Amino acid sequence: MSQKETQKFEITHREGAIVFRDSGIEFHYPENGSIDLRETFEFLMFAMIKQEWVAEWYEYLSTAEALADLAGHEEKVPHLTVIKGGKSDEK
């Protein structure tokens, strides 16, 4: 898929999606979905703007990397799975 091509995905009223783009992060979840789903996405959006949480996360990463270096473990690369889907408000 080219960089300029937009991929469409579908989510149900019980699902949500976080989309990472060059221009930023998009949160997609139904306004009429379950309270647990809405609160989870609202928490994630809140967490993204908390500068002290972001700083704490980078501190945690630095500590984890230092401990891995001391233990002699190679850095593990995360494996992400791309799933087909779409926003529920797009047809």
Query: Which pLDDT tens digits describe the chain residue by residue (91 residues)?
Result: 445 556 777 778 788 888 888 888 888 888 888 889 889 999 998 988 899 988 998 999 998 888 887 787 565 677 778 777 776 666 5
Q: How many domains does the chain have?
A: 1
Threshold 0.75, pTM exceeds? no
Local structure of 17: helix, strand or coil: strand
> What does the block give as tokens for 30?
């139904």
Q: Are 85 and 9 in contact (CB under 8 A)?
A: yes
Q: In the chain, what are the helix, strand and coil shares in percent, each to the nearest 5?
A: 40, 10, 50
Task: Return all residues near 68 (Cβ < 8 A) that are at least 6 apart.
Answer: 74, 75
Q: Name residue, tokens 């996405």.
A: 41
Question: Is 81 contained in some domain?
Answer: no
Question: Which pLDDT score is estimated for 6?
Answer: 67
Question: Is 38 contained in some domain?
Answer: yes
Question: Which pLDDT score is estimated for 71?
Answer: 80
Quote the domain boundaries for residue 48: 17-71
